[in-house]
Amino acid sequence: MDVDFGDARSILVAFGAGVVVLLALYSLVGLEDVLAALSQADPTIFAAVCVVSVGWLFAWGLALRTVLAVVAVKVSVWRAFLLLAGATFANNVTPFGQAGGEPFSALLVSRSTGTEYENGLAVVASVDTLNFVPSISFALLGVGYYATRFTVGGRVELAAVALLALALAVPTLAYLGWRNRERVSDLVVRLAVPAIRLVGRVVPTLEPAGESQVRERIGGFFAALERVGGDHHQLGLALSFSALGWLLLSVSLWLSLGALGYWVPFAAALFIVPLGSVASVTPLPGGLGGVEAALVLLIVPITGVDAGTAAAAAVLHRGATYVLPVLIGGSATAMLEADNVHKSASD
């Protein structure tokens, strides 16, 4: 790519901070307890966790492929998987999760499909928005099951309240942003143009875009979003693939606990996984450390397992849904970029 995933030094610092958070978490829980629980893990079940994780990437890759089709970009299932894996890699190596990785994911989609950058950004943003709907739906289903079947404690009640607040706040903000998209566009132009000019002065080889160009690209972004939102059939299909992905993520955590000998109600995983993923917006690469802490804080009161087992389950689950996608996504990004270079050379 013409740009890398941010300053390498800042990424290393962010990873270092994530490692510190992880060490603090496992020191607090008891590293010996975590290692003892991991030593009892069933390798066959953990292998199933890894297979499920790859299935999750394929499911969300199909959602990405469906949304790309709405903006008249056709890709194969395999290429969609590589694009989604690359986007996941970007999210996992940049701070603030999807918010930090979206610009790079959009660039990867744009370069690999030949579409305009604003179309790529609209597609990535649309997929991220679609992914929010089933995550909240599954979480509400899980907490509803627990509320009717078990006595919930204070932490669970607090998590449920936070979930409801999130379910109301995000759609409301999205609706207000869309209704006032002209104002949002003006605000982005006022903020972006001076920043672009500053970059142009610092990097003389870059030709900064003018205000009209920035406004045109923002208009293209909103137009692409409108096209995506107008195709209800494709949106429904993409939503189904997204829901399948979230279901597989929940299976991953459920199997991770099962690998340690704790077969908890599946509804617990439906509740825990979406809430735990919120911690990925922390200023750590892919929420490293933050997500693990959130998982432990949720698993213990909801399932009743001890903290050491909960932390060990978080290791297995995140190994399959964070470390494995980083390895696959890094390779996928390299493959796509090599293909882009080959096509450029052919042209």
For residues 183-194, average pLDDT:
61
Residue 78 burial by CB count (10 A; 0-12/13-18/19+): exposed, middle or buried?
Answer: exposed
Phi and psi, residue 263, nearest 5°: -95, 90
In the predicted structure, residue 72 carries a pLDDT above the cut 60 = yes
Which residue type is seen at 13? V
Q: What is the value of pTM for the model shown?
A: 0.81
* pLDDT tens profile 36-58: 999 999 999 999 999 999 999 99
- Residue 274: closest CA among 258, 260, 294: 294
Cβ atoms within 10 A of the Cβ of 7, count? 9
- The pair phi, psi for residue 265, each rounded to 5°, is -55, 135
Residue 334 pLDDT more than 50?
A: yes
How confident is the model at residue 310, as a pLDDT?
95
Confidence at 329, pLDDT banded by 50, 70, 90:
very high
Average pLDDT over residues 152-161: 62
Report pLDDT for 3. Answer: 43
Of the pLDDT bands very low, low, confident and very high (cuts 50, 70, 90), residue 149 is low
Max mean pLDDT among 55-59, 208-212, 281-285, 290-294 falls in 55-59
Mean pLDDT, to the nearest integer, of 24-47? 93
Q: Exposed (0-12), middle (13-18) or buried (19+): which is 150, by Cβ within 10 Å? A: middle
> What gap in Å lies between CA 24 and CA 26, rounded to an integer?
6
| Residue 320 C-alpha from the chain's centroid | 14
Query: Which position has the higher pLDDT, 203 or 123?
Result: 123
Residue pLDDT, tens place only, 230-287: 767 888 898 899 999 999 999 999 999 999 999 998 988 988 898 888 777 777 888 8
- pLDDT value of position 69: 87
First to last CA, the chain: 17
Residue 117 CA to residue 293 CA, distance in Å, equals 36
Residue type (1 letter), 23: L
229: confidence class by pLDDT, cuts 50, 70, 90: low
Are 101 and 87 contacting, i.e. CB atoms less than 8 angstroms apart? yes
Domain-by-domain residue ranges, the chain? Answer: 8-346
AA identity, residue 228: V
- pLDDT band, residue 63 (cuts 50/70/90): very high
Q: What is the DSSP annotation of 141-191?
A: HHHHHHHHHS---HHHHHHHHHHHHHHHHHHHHHHHHHHTHHHHHHHHHHH
